[in-house]
Structure formats: structure tokens, C-alpha cells
Structure 1
Amino acid sequence: METLSPRTNRKFKDIGYYAEQQSNYFLLPFRFHRLNDDKEVLVNEVGDHLVVPLGTAGRIIQRQLSIEEDADLYGDLVAGFFIAEQEVPALIDVLATRYRTKKSFLDQFTSLHLFVITLRCEHTCHYCQVSRVTTNKDEFDMRYEHINKGIELMLQSPSDYLTMEFQGGEALLAFDKIVYAIERTKPLAAKLEKQVTYVICTNLAVLDEDILAYCKTNNVLLSTSLDGPGFIHNQNRRRPGNNSYELTIKGIELARKWLGTGNLSALMTTTNLSLDHPTEIVDEYFQQGFRSIFLRPVSPYGFALKNEKKNKYEIERFINFYKKALHHILDYNKRGEFFREEYATIILKKILTPFPVGYVDLNSPAGAITNVILFNYDGAVYASDESRMLAESGDFTFRLGHLDTDTYGDIFYGEKAQALSEVMVNETLPGCSECAFQSYCGADPVHNHATQGSVWGYRPTSTFCQKNMELIRYLIELMDGDPQTRQIFEGWISQRRAS
């Protein structure tokens, strides 16, 4: 009778097992992940990665490397802080400095402050996450006393560089309130020696030259939405006359005339209709003069969930859409054009550089509170824009306080903020703590709560996790398999065209 080999278990060995191992090197903290059928990737504590043949991690851990026979690999592992020849590496302070640099986005705390200046809007976008109201209901505009208190709290931030972003509804329907807020902020910020960047999120439908003249004089940036060609954009973003696309394109041209190309950005949202047209969407952005595109799925919050037929899809479908669009973008670059995908660029900065990024969804601790705060039109204060979206559906889990009653300390350091801080660090979350891509990813308790009913989340079924793990893996695989693609990606980071 055939004898079965003993089953290998995955339990942790006792510390004595490792102490008894005879080896010429010591292990430093690193994680690993299968890249494909032939290779795996090792990632150290500061995000340096090394692509190696499948099974290499096991050989390293089991002390099977030979200095003579594996000289090149051994040298790379030592130089990359995966292993060390002394129990405490001589350059441990360098590793500590690099780790501190990766987390330096925490140094000045909250920089982005969102002001929901109105809920009024003349669009009825089917993926809108908030409870918009008709254009005549100005009681849903932010009150002056709430604007004043929001500015006061914003200027108490330790950060010397602040962003004041006005959202809606359609923010330009309350342009008088925006002007008031900017004019009040300018002298106060100058007195405190703080630099403030002003941004208006707008669909451009009500944009005119008087608004643009003010924006030009005061260096106000515009952010808009463009979901693709007209047949996609007009289906996604409904308005009377079914001419949202036409007004958006007209607004883009007018804004560029007044402000220049660099002061207007656009975002797209992927709906079920979008999933079938990745190349057309990419082409639309390029043809409209944009040299970047941010491919993002529908947010699983608020009223966007009510239209499941148009907005609900499996995350695998978005990943396939993303990959097709990414390859089309790479084709533009291989023809000599500079054109980048913004989400990939954010991830690539975390993979290829020692510096932090300001994108709140991929930060640990999470960007909610630490990087961004939101002042709602009614004076309520939320941990993020997504938190506000949940509140519009009656879920106030992430409401931190109110401008009428709470101080800066109450909001930023109160019991709610402290409770959230426990689930904002992916280094301590089950499933994240041992993930190879931990240093490239983030923690998102709002997404966890909205999709899984727990701020802690459950990684095996998390769409946030599924999306990021596959996209990170895929970007590393693309770089490893094609030097030209790696050169293009490096150009995206440095904003230069690949040669």
C-alpha cells in the first residue's frame, strides 16, 4: 500500500526552530506573493520589491541560499534589506529613515478640507451618491456661519499647505458662497502664513465668463466629470435636454481659454455601460486634450446603490475593463505620446519611489481625518466624502461632530476619531498585516463598513482588497516582463515622455 507523506501544516514554528538554524545570514522583515506561474515578488518593510523565481522565498526562509552559488541573488537580498549578514544590520538607521519618509504624509496632518457648499444640482446622474435637490432650494446651501466655522477649523490644521475644495450638488449654483469663503480665507491664511489651494468641483453646465474671470484672478482650479464619449456621458449624467456632454465639452474649452490646460482636471466613473467601451473612453480623453485619465469604479455608497441595473457589477468586470484601458493607454505611449493613467501612477509612485503619496484611499493610516475632512452644507462634519455619502442614506457612523457645537479637539481627537483610528492602519488589520502589498495599499474602514457591515472588514471577500491586490500584482508583472513598459511607467512618475 502506498505510504502518504506527512501533511505539511502552516502553523508558526516555535522561536527555537529559527534560533537553531545554521546560516550565514539573518532574515529581515519581508513578505512575498505569487506573481504568476513562474515568478514571485518579495517586498520589504519600506516597499522595495524584487521579482524572483517561484520558490525563492521558501529557500530564503529555510536558509538554503549559498553565497557562492546564489551570489547575484544573495547580493540583491542584502542590498535590498531582505536579509542581513549581522543580526542588526549596519545600515539599520537608513532603513528606519526610509520608513519614516514613507509615513511623512502624517507630519502635517489634515490638508484637504471639503466644503459641501450646496446640494442643489441641475443634473440627475444615476450614480450620484448624495441626495441632490432642485436648483430653486437654496435652503440647502451652506450657511455663512458654517462657512466661517469651517474656515476657522481648517486654519487650525498644523499643515502649512491646505486645499479648500468646494463640492455640491453643483457647486457653481452657490458661487456667491464660494466667493465669500475664498475672500474670507485669503487674509486669515496670509496672516498665519498658510498657503491655500482653491478647487471647485463642477459639471461645467452653468459655467460662464464672469465665474472664470474670478477663478483666473484668484488662481482657482476646476475639477469636472467626463465619463467618455457623448453616448456614455449623456446616459450616465442626465440633465434636461440630454446635453450634459455637449455642455461639458463647451465648458472644458472655455475653461482652458481662461485658465490654461493645467488648471482643469476631469474624472470618470465606470458604470455598466462604461465596461463595454474601455478604448472609446480612453480615446475621448486623449482627443479632448487630456494627457491623463483616472479610471475608477462606481462608489458603493448612498443613492448610487439604488440603481443596480446601471451601477452594480462584479469587481472582476472592472478589473478586466481597467486592464484593457491600460493597454490602450500604453499603446499611445509606445507611439511617442505622453498619456498616463492616474491610479496606476499613484501605485507606481509607492512601488518605485521612497516618497509618500497624498491619495487618501491608499494611505495607512487611512486618509480619513488624517488627510481629509468634510464640512457638510448643514454643518455636520464627516471623516471623508464617502462618509457624507453614507449619511445621506441615514448612516451616521462616520459623523465626527457639528460646526455649531464641537471644537477642533472634539472633532479631530474626540472619541469617534480615536475609535476609527483603531481600524485605519493596515499594518494591524487581519489579512493586511501579512500581505506582500501592504506598503502599496491602504486601509478603508468606510468602504469596509458600507460593503461588509464592519469597519474592520474581511479581506477574502473585500472588493477593495481584490481590486488593489490584482492591479498591484499586474503592474509589477508588466514592468518585469517588458523594459519598455517599465520605462513608460517611470516616465509617468517623473511626468516625462519615455524615450
Structure 2
Amino acid sequence: METTINTPRQTRKFKDPQYYKTISADYSLLPFRFHRMADSRELLVNELGDFILVPEGTAARIIQKEINAENPEDRSLFEDLVAGFFISEKRIPDLLEVMATRYRTRKSFLDHFTSLHIFVISLRCEHTCHYCQVSRVTSDKDTFDMSRYHIDAGIDMMMQSPNPHVTMEFQGGEALLAFESIVYAVERTKAASAKHNKQVTYVICTNLAPLTDEMLQYCKENNILISTSLDGPAFIHNKNRHKPNASSYDFAVEGIRRCREVLGEDNVSALTTTTNLSLEHPLEIVDEYVRLGFCNVFLRPINPYGFATRSDRKNKYETSRFLEYYKTALDRVIAHNLDGYFLREDYATIILRKMLTPFPVGYVDLQSPAGLINNVIVFNYDGAIYASDEARMLAEMQDYTFRLGQLGRSTYNEIFYGGQAQEISQAMTNESLPGCSECAFQPYCGADPVFNHATQEDIYGYRPTSAFCQRNMWIIEHLITLMTNDPRIEKIFRSWITGKS
């Protein structure tokens, strides 16, 4: 007869309870995550986003309670860990309320709910950009411009936001082709905001080609900001942003000059989109922004949505190629700063703000919970309401996963608290997403259900093959390496956060 021997069940996650009882605990662990850097150092990041770089193997020593405050070799590390909220000398830290306040501050972007309200005022456009993420049209104003009925309904919904400060952003197509609709919307919003005690910021996204002096004067009188596109020197910009029988670059540069002259330097901004052609010229792109007197450049990849996906040869590339481009361009930005010219890279600045300050960021892609619905909502030209601008672009591919309702038919509560919003919200918090919850970079990153759905057909996403994850992990580690290896670069990075050179 065989004898069965019962042995304790072994698991990957937990050791036998006796293992933990044998440890002599001189301190208590506070929540933190760790990551092995490429240079073999370990990065420790706590729940508040504070980080510390330590020798390899330190995380295991901390967890096994081997850091001895009485040991001269450990004393400095022990003090840093206590001061940085990685461990506590008491089971409940004396500064627990301070920790709670700092965590609430990091999440304070949720306090007032939706701020950015995007009105797709028209689909009409006179450019034929190959990376355009919407199916632009050139005619039929009545069909492809937002109706007054939908404008009114969008403004009424914007006024219901609990946020006292809202942004009304006009997009296209080319928004200036429907300038009379913009004027109508602004005038109606001015009256509504006075009634509802709202402070409204107005933004027009435009390629600047249709810009007239009358438009500029109206923008000045109403403090309207201008956001445009500049992809680099003429040979890149004209190729990326084609305008039949004309130089789109000349229109953009002249438009920027006129906007600065009338509206002021700080009231016009530019964005660059990275195509396959752009990847070959990172230095020229950065230098063009310097030549035109910009103090910032935003190095961003193409989003995999809408019309942009139809030109793989021009627009599709591996994430590794973008990261090599980004590294080279960032080095050039840093070099300009070392030479005395203040120039910040905006994506890095957003991440650095999350790393080096306790304050939240307003950038939708790097928020958790995600910024869609919480921070941004989109009213399409046809009255359809989407959870984000990327969600609207996805609808151009006949994918309406993130369509929330219809202006004039759906109520505020149905849009923001209905079943669709609740379902999306399940995948919006990276603290609880598989692969994110245990990642050291989680406090600096975000959640992007729309990107996950577009690239992996799953709103939760799969981190090992996620381009979003690969890109952000590499950039975050690269920024940490740069500033911890060179005090001059750390000083530059901090100046980007404060805006002071």
C-alpha cells in the first residue's frame, strides 16, 4: 500500500507564512516598485512617484529586511529610504497624512472633471496631408460643417461640466474654412459662460492657409489661441502636408509670423508629426524650430487611426525606429540648451513633471485614470459624441466602440455616466491593469484604451507587445539615465518644468 506524503503547496506568488515570521523587522515596507536599469542599477519608485537609483540587489535586501540602520555602510541608504517613503520605522508612518495629501495632489486633475471640449467644426480642408487621421472633404458645406443645432447642443453640454475652467477647441478638417461657425459658437459661448460662471479658453487648430486679417483681429479681440502644424523644413513639411499648387510650408511660416505679430508670441503654438520621411531628419526638424524662434518642440509619432493608416509606406514604422529618431532629436534639443538657447521637448517635459513634482499633468495619454471622458470630450461635425479625439478618428474606420451618444438626443448623464462610459472606465486605470500594476514606471505613465483597441483589438491591451508601453518605458528610462548621469542635463530638465532657463 502506498503512503501519501502531504507537502505544503508551493506557489510562485507566496512563500510559507513561517518564512515571514523568521524575519527580524526593524522597519516596515511601504508600497514601491522596482526596475533593473540597462546599466545594472535598480530603480525604486514609490506610490507617490518618488524615485531612487540604487545598486543591483538592493530591492531584494530591502524586502528581506537586510538594511541595517546601525551598519555604517547602510546608514545613508536607510535614511534615504525612510525620507523617500519607501520604508517606515513605524508600522504606520508618522507622515501618513502627508503621503495622502501628495497622492491626492497627483490625482487632482479629476477634481473638476471634463475641461477640454473639442468641436469638429468642419471636415472641409484644402490640404491633402497623407497622414490626416480623418477623411477630409473639399466641398458640400451644408453636409460637412457642424450645424447651428449641434453647436448649440454642444455648448449646452459644455456648460454642464462641473469644471469652472473649460477649453473650447475648434478642429477640422480645416477649422478656418468654417470661421463664421466659429464666430457664432464663440459669441454664444460668451453669453452662456457669463450665465454659468465659466471661464472659457478658446483654441483654433488650423494649417493657417485660409487665415485673413479679419480672422486675426477677431482672435485678438476674443483671446483665441492658435495651434498649427510644422513638420520641419520646407522639404519635409510640403511632402507631409501637401497643398495642391502651393507651398504649405510658406503658408505655415507666414501664418506663424502674422499670429505672433497680432496675438503675441505665447498665443501661437506648433506641433510636428513624425512620418517615415521625418525619421530620416531629426536634426533638421529640431533646428527648424530653433530657426523660427520656438521655445518648444513636441516630438510625437503618428497615431494608428483613420485615414493615416491607408499609407503604410509613408506612415507605418516600427517603434524602435521612432525611438532612435527621438533619442537623436532629444540630444539635439539638449545641445541647444547647453549652447544657451532655451528649448524644451514637450513629451519629455510632461513625463519629467510627473517624475520631479507632485503635480498632475493635463496630457490625456499620460493620465491614470485615462483622460478620455475625464478630461476631454469630442463633438463631431455630425453631432456624434466621442470619448476622445482618437476615438473620433477610429470612427473614420467604421469602428464606433468609443462613441458615447448624439448631441441633441443624449443627456449629460447618459454621456458621462452611462453604460458605455462605465465599460470604458474599466480599462482606464493603469494601477489595476495587468502588466502596469507592477511596473516601476506606472506613476509616470498612463492608460490608453483607444490605442489598445486600435492596435490589439482589446481595450485592456497586452503590455509585452504594446507599442505604447514600449515607447513610454524606453523614454522614461532614458530620461532618468540622462539626468542622473549628468548634473547639467538635470538642470536643463528642471528648467523645462519651471519654464525658466
1:153-192 residue pairs with structure 2 within 5 A?
A: 153-192=157-196
Q: Write the deviation string for residues 349-382 of structure 1: whole angstroms up to 9, x where unpaired.
A: 0000001011110000000000000000000000
Q: Write the deviation string for residues 90-126 of structure 1: whole angstroms up to 9, x where unpaired.
A: 1111111111110000000000000000000001100
Most deviating of 240-249 and 274-283: 240-249
Counterpart pick for 1:37 among 39, 44, 47: 39
Match of 1:352 in 2: 356
Q: Write the deviation string for residues 313-333 of structure 1: whole angstroms up to 9, x where unpaired.
A: 000100110010001000010
Q: Write the deviation string for residues 71-103 of structure 1: whole angstroms up to 9, x where unpaired.
A: 100000001110111111111111111111100
1:330-479 residue pairs with structure 2 within 5 A?
A: 330-479=334-483
Contact 1:423–1:429 under 8 Å retained in 2: yes
How far apart, CA to CA, are the structure 2 residues paired with 1:11 and 1:441? 25
Structure 2: runs of 5+ lacking an equivalent: 1-9
How far apart, CA to CA, are the structure 2 residues paired with 1:96 and 1:336? 40
1:47 aligns with 2:49: yes
How far apart, CA to CA, are the structure 2 residues paired with 1:443 and 1:211? 38
Match of 1:56 in 2: 58
How far apart, CA to CA, are the structure 2 residues paired with 1:195 and 1:132? 32
Match of 1:486 in 2: 490
What's the % identity of the aligned pairs? 63
Deviation of residue 136 (structure 1)? 4.6
1:60-209 residue pairs with structure 2 within 5 A?
A: 60-67=62-69, 68=71, 69-209=73-213
Which amino acid in structure 2 is aligned with residue 46 of structure 1? Answer: L
Secondary structure of the 2:299 match is coil
Deviation of residue 66 (structure 1)? 1.6
How far apart, CA to CA, are the structure 2 residues paired with 1:138 and 1:207? 21
Deviation of residue 302 (structure 1)? 1.0
How far apart, CA to CA, are the structure 1 residues paired with 2:141 and 2:113? 36
How far apart, CA to CA, are the structure 2 residues paired with 1:137 and 1:244? 23
Secondary structure of the 1:389 match is helix
How far apart, CA to CA, are the structure 2 residues paired with 1:164 and 1:25? 51
Most deviating of 58-67 and 280-289: 58-67
How far apart, CA to CA, are the structure 1 residues paired with 2:433 and 2:204? 35
Match of 1:23 in 2: 25
Deviation of residue 242 (structure 1)? 4.0
How far apart, CA to CA, are the structure 2 residues paired with 1:39 and 1:242? 53
The number of aligned residues is: 490
Match of 1:5 in 2: none
Secondary structure of the 1:269 match is strand
Deviation of residue 257 (structure 1)? 1.1
Q: Write the deviation string for residues 119-173 of structure 1: whole angstroms up to 9, x where unpaired.
A: 0000110001111101454420000010000000001000010000000000000
Match of 1:3 in 2: none
How far apart, CA to CA, are the structure 1 residues paired with 2:22 and 2:378? 54
Match of 1:252 in 2: 256
How far apart, CA to CA, are the structure 1 residues paired with 2:12 and 2:38? 22
How far apart, CA to CA, are the structure 1 residues paired with 2:413 and 2:153? 14
Which amino acid in structure 2 is aligned with residue 256 of structure 1? Answer: R
Contact 1:163–1:197 under 8 Å retained in 2: yes
Distance change in 2, residues 1:15/1:259 (3 Å): farther
Secondary structure of the 1:139 match is helix
How far apart, CA to CA, are the structure 2 residues paired with 1:402 and 1:314? 37
1:3-22 residue pairs with structure 2 within 5 A?
A: 10-22=12-24
How far apart, CA to CA, are the structure 2 residues paired with 1:16 and 1:112? 53
Which amino acid in structure 2 is aligned with residue 292 of structure 1? Answer: N
How far apart, CA to CA, are the structure 2 residues paired with 1:287 and 1:16? 66
Secondary structure of the 1:268 match is strand
Counterpart pick for 1:269 among 248, 266, 273: 273
Distance change in 2, residues 1:197/1:14 (3 Å): farther
How far apart, CA to CA, are the structure 1 residues paired with 2:310 and 2:377? 26
How far apart, CA to CA, are the structure 2 residues paired with 1:474 and 1:9? 35
Most deviating of 54-63 and 287-296: 54-63
Distance change in 2, residues 1:213/1:407 (3 Å): same
How far apart, CA to CA, are the structure 1 residues paired with 2:348 and 2:401? 31
How far apart, CA to CA, are the structure 1 residues paired with 2:323 and 2:246? 30
Distance change in 2, residues 1:496/1:9 (3 Å): farther
Q: Give structure 1 regions of 4+ aligned residues with deviation exceeding 2 angstroms.
A: 8-20, 135-138
Secondary structure of the 1:228 match is coil
1:221 aligns with 2:221: no
How far apart, CA to CA, are the structure 1 residues paired with 2:200 and 2:469? 34
How far apart, CA to CA, are the structure 2 residues paired with 1:356 and 1:13? 38
Deviation of residue 13 (structure 1)? 2.6
Most deviating of 485-494 and 10-19: 10-19
Structure 1: runs of 5+ lacking an equivalent: 1-7
How far apart, CA to CA, are the structure 1 residues paired with 2:165 and 2:132? 30
Which amino acid in structure 2 is aligned with residue 201 of structure 1? Answer: C
Which amino acid in structure 1 is aligned with residue 326 of structure 2? Answer: Y
Give TM-score, length-normalised by structure 1.
0.97
How far apart, CA to CA, are the structure 1 residues paired with 2:282 and 2:32? 36
How far apart, CA to CA, are the structure 1 residues paired with 2:17 and 2:104? 29
Deviation of residue 57 (structure 1)? 0.8
Contact 1:135–1:173 under 8 Å retained in 2: no
Q: Write the deviation string for residues 297-320 of structure 1: whole angstroms up to 9, x where unpaired.
A: 000111111100000000010011
1:320 aligns with 2:363: no
Deviation of residue 11 (structure 1)? 3.3
How far apart, CA to CA, are the structure 2 residues paired with 1:468 and 1:16? 40
Which amino acid in structure 1 is aligned with residue 274 of structure 2? Answer: T
How far apart, CA to CA, are the structure 2 residues paired with 1:9 and 1:54? 25
How far apart, CA to CA, are the structure 1 residues paired with 2:396 and 2:341? 42
Secondary structure of the 2:373 match is helix
Deviation of residue 209 (structure 1)? 0.5
How far apart, CA to CA, are the structure 1 residues paired with 2:392 and 2:468? 19
